[in-house]
């Protein structure tokens, strides 16, 4: 199993990440990484991220919502 992130603009189009991700072996590792770098990703133009387990989409998460809460 591989856990990966896709980085997206507000309209869902894919954008290049400001911080280059790795391929994660667990969901927890992927989520910990996003928790450490989300501000840099947001500053770099990613508004939301989608988590995948192999080819299966797990969820979409807004990076902007973390700033507004």
What confidence tens digit (pLDDT) does each residue in 26-38 have? Answer: 999 999 999 999 9
CA-CA-CA-CA torsion for 31, 37, 39, 42, nearest 10 degrees?
-80
Share of the chain above pLDDT 90, in %: 83
pLDDT score recorded for residue 67: 59
**Measured between alpha carbons, how far is 45 from 29 in angstroms, rounded to an integer?**
23
pLDDT score recorded for residue 66: 57
pLDDT score recorded for residue 22: 85
Average pLDDT of the residues in 27-53: 96
**Position with higher pLDDT, 31 vs 68:** 31
Q: Residue 33's beta-bridge partner residues? A: none
Q: Is 68 helix (H, G, I), strand (E, B) or coil?
A: helix
């Amino acid at each position: 199993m591989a856990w990966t992130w896709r980085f997206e603009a507000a309209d869902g189009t894919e954008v290049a990440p400001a911080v280059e991700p790795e391929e994660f072996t667990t969901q927890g590792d992927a989520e910990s990484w996003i928790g450490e770098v989300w501000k840099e990703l947001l500053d770099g133009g990613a508004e939301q991220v989608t988590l995948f387990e192999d080819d299966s989409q797990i969820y979409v998460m807004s990076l902007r919502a973390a700033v507004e809460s």
